[in-house]
A and B are shown apart, each in its own frame.
Chain A
């Protein structure tokens, strides 16, 4: 009677032998797979760097293209700013991080120089406008996307720069270490819609807030945070609040 593998001491050897060859085969297979993957990755990297290098100028100068490129990177899980080397190998290939850091510096510049008049909160469109002016480029060259991205690169500095969504597709950039509570965000959004002016009645009517809540939110922004200004000559209400960061300023 023949059992599989036979009997006796020799069977142990045979079993060991076959186990070893299976293991060998398996490691050979996975090695081949890893090699394959590695070569694919290398190929991908080469292709991507080639792409990035050959389109470097377009990426730096054309905002639509830059946006597409960044979207492509994020969809395949590659962060153009991250990488093994300082600044990321993307940065080296593209010179992208210089651009981004440069933009970051200019964002800080605008935020700090306008802080006096807006209390440290600036509307995204206004920020983009002012940064563009600072760089001496026309509108559309720098996008909200670029600014948002640059602000992310500022995060390690711990200066508290943050992009806030205030609803209605409006974004604000906060440059002070001050938490805006939900009510203040709503006030910002409503003021935004009114060109900067806000009165208790608007918050009552549109948001259904009790008068006390509206007053408390506005008075806090006025007195405690310096985020809005008082107008005591308002035609309809006698007293109105103005949020400078929600006002349109033409310099």
Chain B
């Protein structure tokens, strides 16, 4: 049996290692495990970007029917990732700043950094510039749920806050309290 790349129903191309049964088992050899974790990390991040998924939970490996079935399971070879395995991959991703535990102080769910907060900050700033919304007050809701879909649509608030923090540190944004929560004013400003 040859192990070959597979395209999922959602159009995502899984590498050939995803069709290898042992890929779904946590490896006792630390070197092997490190290599597999690296591969898993890559698959998870590219899939998240492909489907615009921001959150990955350990329970996604436990309960079928979620957003992550296409990668955490392989029905063709009857294998699935076990929650404990996923949990150690998440830990590795957090340690490499490719994800962050969200909310903090728990280890069951992460916010995925398929774009780093710094990159999201640039995306946000470019979007505001392109849509002529500099110097006006924007609520967080207006950013994550704009009338015209944007690259920031459906972005989770914790991630948006991190991106805005990056902008405030470089003087390109000012956080403003508004009646129904938080708002921000973006400035042209240099980098």
Output the residue of B2, B5, B25 with the most chain A CB within 10 A.
B25
Interface size on A, residues (CB 8 A): 23
Closest chain A residue to B1 by CB distance? A195
Q: Which of B2, B24, B35 contacts A231 (CB 8 A)?
A: B24
Q: Are A231 and B31 touching (Cβ within 8 A)?
A: no
Quick check: is A116 within 8 A (CB to CB) of the other chain?
yes
Q: Indicate if A47 sits at the interface (CB-CB under 8 A).
A: no
- Is chain B's interface secondary structure helix, strand, loop, or mixed overall? mixed
Contact of A229 among B4, B16, B25, B78 (CB under 8 A): B25
- Tell which of A116, A119, A231, A247 touches B3, judged by Cβ atoms closer than 8 Å: A247
The answer to whether B3 and A229 have CB atoms under 8 Å apart is no
Check A235 against B78 for contact (C-beta < 8 Å): yes
A:33-79 near B, CB below 8 Å: none
Expressed in whole angstroms, the Cα–Cα distance for A230 and B17 within the complex equals: 14
Say if the beta carbon of A242 comes within 8 Å of chain B.
yes
A184 to chain B, nearest CB (A): 15
| A249 and B3 contacting across the interface, CB-CB below 8 Å | yes
A160 contacts partner chain B, Cβ-Cβ < 8 Å: no
Do B24 and A233 have beta carbons less than 8 Å apart? yes
Contacts of A197 in B (CB 8 A): 21
Q: Does A149 have its Cβ within 8 Å of any Cβ on chain B?
A: no
**In the bound complex, do residue A117 and residue B21 qualify as a contact, i.e. CB atoms below 8 Å apart?**
no
Query: A195: which B residues are within 8 A, CB to CB?
Result: 1
Known A-B contacts A231-B24, A232-B25; the reply to A249 vs B78 at CB < 8 A is: no
The answer to whether B25 touches A233 (Cβ under 8 A) is yes
Among A222, A226, A240, contact of B21 (Cβ-Cβ < 8 Å): A240
B125-165 near A? 1/0 per residue, CB < 8 Å: 00000000000000000000000000000000000000000
Whether A234 sits at the interface, judged by CB under 8 Å, is yes
Q: Do B5 and A229 have beta carbons less than 8 Å apart?
A: no
Query: What distance in Å separates the Cβ of A111 from its nearest Cβ neighbour in chain B?
Result: 16
A245 to B175 CA separation, bound complex (whole angstroms): 56
Residue among B24, B28, B29, B80 facing the most chain A CB atoms (10 A cut-off) = B29
Instruction: Compute how far the CA of A229 lies from the CA of B2 in the bound complex, rounded to whole angstroms.
Output: 17
Interface residues of A (CB under 8 A from B): 116-117, 119, 195, 197, 222-223, 226, 229-235, 240, 242, 244, 247-251
Given A240-B22, A249-B2, A249-B4, 4 other A-B residues pairs in contact with their CB atoms under 8 A:
A195-B1, A233-B79, A244-B20, A250-B16
Please list 16 pairs of residues, one from A and one from B, whose beta carbons are closer than 8 Å in the complex, sorted by A's number: A116-B35, A119-B32, A222-B28, A223-B28, A226-B29, A229-B25, A229-B32, A231-B21, A231-B79, A233-B21, A235-B78, A240-B22, A248-B3, A249-B3, A250-B3, A250-B5
